[in-house]
Structure 1
Amino acid sequence: MKYFLLLTYLQEKVSMRTREFFSLLLLIPIVLLCLYTPQVYKKIQSILNTGQKDNLTYLVLESTPFIKTFDPNFATPQEWKKYGIPFYLGERIVKFRLKGGQFYEKSDLKKINGMTTELFSLVSPYLIINKQYLPKPQKGNYRKSYKPVIKKKKLKLLSFNPNDVQKQELEAMFFPSSIIKSLIGYRKAGGVLKVKRDFLKLYGVDSVFYKSISDSILLPEDLLIKKKIIYSVDINTGTLEDFKKLSGIGEVRANKIISYRNKLGGSFYKKEQLLEIYGIKDVYNDIVSQLVFKDGSIIKIEVNTVSYEKLATHPYISYKQARWIINYRKQHGPYTSIIDLLKIKTINEQDLENIIPYLSFRK
């Protein structure tokens, strides 16, 4: 019975102590709320009166003092967030530093896009900038070093020939150094300016600059175009020099024409045969009107007396056909007409159509 009474007494004591402890814990936030309620109320009332409702997010952060300070040139986005700066804005500040940006004064922070006056006022009391670790500040953009703009001198033009004018003379006329270098290099490479507009070929010369100096250039506006003399050549009697006078025909092509003419037996029977020569097709339309072809100038092949060697080298007869023609003549005697050639199996009508203008059946 005694033990029961003692246990009951101890339970009551512990229960009382527990209630006192939890009552004390509940009392602490109530006391803090009572202490800060007037300040918070005044701040809310001030913000509502000025219409700056967006700043309510940072009200508690501003009301609660931070003792720790930090350098904006080294802070992470997480550290910025502790002082009321949104995380995305903290990332933007860090990216600015990674690209070479630095904060030399607190006010430099205002240049960051999104850093409002309210956010700057919120965080500026805790900023400390250690300038001994910063590079020497540059004027203008922190990430770029701009060269001073050099004002161009006005040209003092004198008449000059660009093919022999000296570098010193151009410098005295205040020509840009890049254009002087381009002109000298062009001449050293063997270039010659023939007309005024050739000056535009130089690197760095645009139409505006050319127009400003064109009157001072001692060159003609245009070259006199010589009247082209049109030659005519007999396709079957023309010489190497005659063919070279034709448009687009040089020594190589002229030699090809004469060589092919010799293979045909010494003559063409129509102008279109030139198309069979390699390299003539490209210029044929330019020269066809200058070619003369006279009827009766074809050199014939005496089929009854011609040798195998001469016949086999003709462009329109193969070696095999030439051998059959000679063998047929030996076996059956002289040819009397084209019909006799058709008796040879290796020769068809298409072959004869090409060769027949050259054949003579005289006995």
Structure 2
Amino acid sequence: MKLSRPYYLCKSDRVVVLFLLAVLAFGVIGYHLLWPSADTTPIAAADSIRSKRSAVGTDSRRAYTYATPSRQVVYAPFDPNTADSTQLLSLGLQPYQVRNIYHYRAKGGVFRRPSDFARLYGLTAKQYRELEPYIRISADYLPASEVYAVHDERPKASSDSLRYPVKLRNSERIALNLADTTLLRRVPGIGAYYARRIVAYRQRLGGYAHARQLLEIDDFPEEALPFFTVDAGDIQRLDVNRLSLSQLKRHPYINYLQARAICDYRRLKGPLASLDQLRLLSAFTADDIERLRPYVRF
């Protein structure tokens, strides 16, 4: 009797075996493709991912952020047309605000008066109030008509330039709101330069409310103050309910933010009846309102 072949498989069994071998082969290949090798533990793989993310984050921060170490704010006079980044940062401005100043200047922008600085993109009302007393605009950036009308001290071809005016005696006084440059030069300590500055500032103010306002002129000699008398009735007052924003901000005591606040108040709540209504607005301090009081009418 013949024995059957011990390793013989029928056709259906061979198909099943081949199918299982194929599944096993695909499983092994897929395992190596989809999962890390046996040398890499889950903890090591996680650490690697975190390391890569940290490196990417660090590079990103280096490329797109500024180092802003804590710094002490030091207020000092500055010209926004020429101040460098170190000086601007020391005044408490943020790096993006300094960039905005540089971009404005690069495009040909000029700050011609302190109130122009209030229009800087990103500047807050609080920052402007703190910086305004320290803004000094160089005469190089003023309109030529203002510079030569006020600052030009070149001698004029007239006999007056060859004579010294007779100075006032200690008992004599002159009306500050009515005196011309010739009379002003008679005040001890006042020459042609300060005489022109007094008249020019008087025109911008609309008249002086008291003599100490002369100290708002750079380096004005305080010893000249006793020689002046002031009549507040000579002041030209502003109609704050009729003037436009551009007209209001021309006054030395009204900056851009304050002029805008007045216009917004009129638009939202109607005409002003008293300056005291502005006390609730952040653009005005109590000192601002009192300084402005002699110059407005309703």
The answer to whether TM tops 0.5 is no
What's the TM-score once normalised by structure 2's chain length?
0.41
What's the TM-score once normalised by structure 1's chain length?
0.34
Instruction: Considering Cα pairs closer than 8 Å and 6+ residues apart, tell me whether 1 or 2 has the greater RCO.
Output: 2
Larger radius of gyration: 1
